[in-house]
Amino acid sequence: LPNAQLTFDKFHAVKLVNDALEEVRREEQKSHHELKSSRYLWLRNPRNLKRDQHERLAVLLGQSHLKTGRAYRIKLAFQDLYTQPVRTAQDYLSRWYFWATHSRLAPIITHSRDAGAAGAPRKGPTTRSPSRLAKLVLTAISPF
């Protein structure tokens, strides 16, 4: 359609981060069998988990060596972006971006690489186009 506009929403932005989290979990479960059958614990909203699911998630999160736990915390922090006031969202995104890109988790880095940079002021022209996640995030926090 010639007059159609692309719309990016929270659901699709969070889906990209969830996809990265799932990549981390799948890779890690090969050597950590306790992660098998835990996919939905990591992807569901914590307030929608049942008591036994909360308990299992708490046990898994208590294992500080798990990369999946780090990816999960990054995901939750990303979701918190949508609760930030517009005036502080840019700073929050920059801090989240730094954390995500320094997480040493390849799928998280890949999905978030341009998100913070796209929102930061540039000193000159760039040839890199923003990632899908960057476009989604910047659209979501835009006051328009």
Domain boundaries, the chain: 10-141
**What's the pLDDT band for 6 if we cut at 50, 70, 90?**
low
Tell me if the pTM is above 0.85. Answer: no
SS3 133: helix
pLDDT tens per residue, range 65-111: 999 999 999 999 999 988 888 888 888 888 998 899 999 999 999 88
How far, in Å, are 30, 33, 103, 114, 140 from residue 109 at the CA level?
21, 24, 7, 9, 20
